[in-house]
Chains A and B, each alone.
Chain A
């Protein structure tokens, strides 16, 4: 599904990603862990086409398409979803209008007719239940005045609405209390299917207690330096990252 080869990317001329190789198959959950500043968020930004970052080398193939050639909105239409680490507030734009625009743009891309207002609201009600998002929140402006936990739930709600093939959760666990973490993680698990994949970016093991990864990668200094099964996450939780740095001879 996703095939990243020798990906290099920089911001303001400073190289952050220094040759990433990663392959994600349908139905797989990959966890990417690593210390601060290792390039985790850069990787997610580059995959969704954030114009702040410049790809200097390498290739990314997604469902047989050259991802780097696509605009951010077309990447979304093709089925890539990012749950932002810091979701922005958009005052004045109601969640309903926002989601309706997003869903109908995706349908247009797939040459489907737009959903009628009543069809749309029905879908919205169903999906809201997945993350226990209050109907009041859905009527408010996008993320405006939402608590940290509500923002993250709102991200997963949008993920449910857009039914992506590949979801990237960028530190979705940061700033969540244990209840919110459970709700968010359960939401993600409910949306899991044999066709859909997920990349979970996190510092900590605790999210992975709920969302079981198939593969765990350690990203360090712009490269994936270690790849193993779920036991790697536990080891990191216990020992920290220093032993990996030592292994690398630093």
Chain B
């Protein structure tokens, strides 16, 4: 009886727990499956791109052909047939993105409302500007005019290519070059849409900026690109959310995020990643291969990554910081949850180049079911990086005895004035702890939620308010039924 009950519970929950698993019935223009130079020309043509951007894509594609899938992650990645994927899906079926609410397909608005992302500005939650991206196209960006008054640019990537080509030309690929890695090359060749943010000198962005990514169409990959530029003495807090329908087949997601932080500017980038993780048997789910990197280019600049990773069948992701400017600061706060057959290999790279640079890494892995959860991090202090400081803390929490937690910290220290600290712990939610909660009237699911949220508190506290509440719920839901 002891054994049966939790199993029954696991089943019930895994069947209902992913509440974003619906699909939207809209007419979607999808280009034919397959990847070759013509596909890339077609994407570029559909988006009406300038010649230089097509060249950028083709160079990336040709380079990608010479590369191989990385094998170093602690992941079992099934062979991906890149010819069986469609690289462009447009649910808005218009040449340009919609100009006003009237032009947006009501089905799409319904979808984003269902996800809790109101696209109508008057409904928008406490002033968060949203760029909603479905499949390959940005559906709608809110609050654009309000932001424009301050000189802030927040728009879809496609629009930025048309309206602000100089900025794109200057910064695209400047932090993550197309040669960087296999998936970066692929993204650079076929990227579809995403968000562009520019905060001018001395401007503090008055609201949270948020992009919401949604994969809808079947057999398509999503390859978005986000570029954020914070000019001298500016500040912006940026949020990213992701969901996908439940599908039996795997969906590929390979994004790039580039951030450039100039003198004394500060960027906070928060992610709540909730792509469909696959079912309890490990069928379906999103493959999430993402390259995120920021360059703290200016003196005294600051970049902070906060991520809560609960979704995806496979996560391969290392939001990183290059601390180029003297006295620059970088932070990485992460909670990665894996359950059932999910696999995550995630962490960060802190590359100290400037003097008196500081970085902090706090990583909290939570593994349940038969999942595998790895932290992989690199701290590099270059020869000229005098007085660099790093503090890393990597904790793993295990639920059950069939999951795995791994830590791969790398250090490359070339300046003897550096102070680098690393702490790691592994703990397990014990049956005694659960029973103690039960005896006080707290049921097992709530007890797990309480313990997990307590464990992840340090990271959750770094999220903006509304996101933190959402993330807390998400953590509990992702792990429901995993302890019995």
Binding site for B on A (CB under 8 A): 48-52, 71-73, 75-77, 81-82, 84, 87-88, 90-94, 97-98, 101-102, 105-106, 109, 141-142, 158, 162
A114 to chain B, nearest CB (A): 13
Pick the residue among A75, A84, A91, A101 that contacts B455 (CB under 8 A): A91
Interchain CB contact under 8 A, A76 and B441: yes
A51-B2, A91-B427 given; A158·B440 CB < 8 A: yes
Residues of B within 8 Å of A82, CB to CB, are 439
Shortest distance from the beta carbon of B451 to any chain A beta carbon, whole Å: 6
Smallest CB–CB gap between B197 and chain A, Å? Answer: 34
Distance in Å from the Cβ of A10 to the closest Cβ of chain B?
Answer: 13
What string of 1s and 0s marks CB contacts (under 8 Å) between B411-433 and chain A? 00000000000000001001111
- Contact between B435 and A162, CB atoms less than 8 A apart: no
Instruction: Tell me whether A88 and B442 are in contact in the complex, defined as CB-CB below 8 angstroms, given that A93-B454, A94-B454, A97-B450 are known contacts.
Output: no
Contacts of A106 in B (CB 8 A): 441
Contact assessment for B454 and A48 in the assembled complex, using a CB-CB cutoff below 8 Å: no
Minimum CB–CB distance from B19 to chain A (whole Å) comes to: 23
B residues sitting closer than 8 Å to A (CB atoms) are 2, 427, 430-433, 435-443, 446, 450-451, 453-457
Please give me the residue from chain B that is nearest to A84 by CB atom: B436
List 20 A–B pairs whose Cβ atoms lie within 8 Å, in order of A's numbering: A49-B438, A51-B431, A51-B435, A71-B438, A71-B443, A72-B435, A72-B438, A73-B442, A84-B436, A87-B436, A88-B430, A88-B432, A91-B427, A92-B457, A97-B454, A98-B440, A101-B446, A102-B440, A102-B442, A142-B436
Contact A77 B436 (CB under 8 A): no
Verify A101–B451 contact, CB threshold 8 A: no
Report the bound CA distance from A109 to B454 in whole Å: 24
Given contacts A97-B450, A98-B437, 20 further A-B contacts (CB under 8 A): A50-B435, A52-B431, A73-B439, A73-B442, A73-B443, A81-B439, A88-B432, A88-B433, A90-B437, A90-B454, A92-B454, A92-B455, A93-B451, A97-B454, A101-B442, A102-B441, A102-B442, A105-B441, A105-B446, A158-B440
**Contact yes or no, B443 A105, CB < 8 A:** yes
Complex CA gap A141/B456 in Å reads 13
Number of residue pairs A-B, CB distance < 8 angstroms: 75
Please tell me if the beta carbons of A90 and B451 are within 8 angstroms of each other in the complex.
Answer: yes
Q: Which of A49, A93, A141, A162 has the most CB of B within 10 A?
A: A93
B residues less than 8 Å from A158 (CB atoms): 440
What A residues does B451 contact at CB under 8 A?
90, 92-93
Chain A nearest CB from B255 CB (Å) reads 32
Do A93 and B450 have beta carbons less than 8 Å apart?
A: yes
Known: A87-B436, A88-B432, A91-B427. A162 touches B450 (CB 8 A): no
Q: How far is the CA of A73 from the CA of B436 in the complex (A)?
A: 10
Chain B residues near A93: list those with CB within 8 A. 450-451, 454
Residues of A within 8 A of B457 (CB): 92
Instruction: Kindly state the separation between the CA atoms of A72 and B438 in the bound complex, as whole angstroms.
Output: 6
Are A162 and B454 in contact, CB atoms less than 8 angstroms apart?
no
CA distance A158 to B442 in the complex (A): 13
Is the pair A76, B438 in contact by a Cβ cutoff of 8 Å?
A: yes
B441 contact set on A, CB distance < 8 A? 73, 76-77, 102, 105-106, 109, 162
CB pair B450 A88 closer than 8 Å: no
Please name all residues of chain B whose beta carbon is closer than 8 Å to the beta carbon of A102 when the two chains form the complex.
Answer: 437, 440-442
**What residues on B are CB-neighbors of A73 within 8 Å?**
438-439, 441-443
Closest A residue to B458 by CB, please name it.
Answer: A92
Our pick among A48, A75, A98 for the contact of B450 (Cβ within 8 Å) is A98
Give the distance to chain B from A18, nearest Cβ to Cβ, in Å. 22
Contact of B439 among A52, A72, A90, A141 (CB under 8 A): A72
Complex: chain A residue closest to B454, CB-CB: A92
**A191 → B minimal CB distance (Å):** 16
| Bound Cα distance A141, B433 (Å) | 13
CA distance A51 to B435 in the complex (A): 8
- B440 x A141 contact (CB < 8 A): no
Report the nearest B residue to A77, measured CB to CB.
Answer: B441
Residues of A near B440 (CB, < 8 A) are 76, 98, 102, 158, 162
A104 CB, nearest partner CB in chain B, Å: 9
Closest-CB distance, B438 to chain A (whole angstroms): 4
User: Closest CB of chain B to A101's CB: distance in Å?
Assistant: 5
Q: What is the bound-complex CA distance between A98 and B434, given in angstroms?
A: 12
Determine how close the nearest CB of chain A comes to the CB of B348; give it in whole angstroms: 22
Q: How far is the CA of A72 from the CA of B441 in the complex (A)?
A: 7
Residues of B within 8 A of A81 (CB): 439
Shortest A56–chain B CB gap in Å is 13
CB <8 Å contact, A76 and B450? no
- Measured between alpha carbons, how far is A106 from B439 in the docked complex, in Å? 11
Closest B residue to A51 using CB positions: B2
Tell me how far the C-beta of B355 lies from the nearest C-beta in chain A, rounded to whole angstroms.
36
Q: Which residues of B contact A50 (CB under 8 A)?
A: 435
Alpha-carbon separation in the docked complex, A51 to B439 (Å): 11
User: Nearest chain-B residue to A107 (Cβ)?
Assistant: B441
Considering only CB atoms, which chain A residue lies closest to B456 in the complex? A92
**Nearest-neighbor residue (CB-CB) of B449 within chain A:** A101
Contacts of B439 in A (CB 8 A): 48, 72-73, 75-76, 81-82, 84
Complexed CA–CA distance, A82 and B441 (Å): 11
Cα of A106 to Cα of B453 in the assembled complex, Å:
21
Closest to B430 in A: A88
Contacts of B427 in A (CB 8 A): 91
B476 vs chain A, min Cβ distance (A): 12
What chain B residues lie within 8 Å of A71 (beta carbons)?
A: 438, 443
Alpha-carbon separation in the docked complex, A162 to B431 (Å): 22
Q: For residue B437, which residues in chain A have a CB less than 8 angstroms away from its CB?
A: 90, 98, 102
Q: Which residues of the other chain, B, contact A84 by a CB distance below 8 angstroms? A: 436, 439
Give every chain A residue within 8 A of B450 (Cβ-Cβ). Answer: 90, 93, 97-98, 101
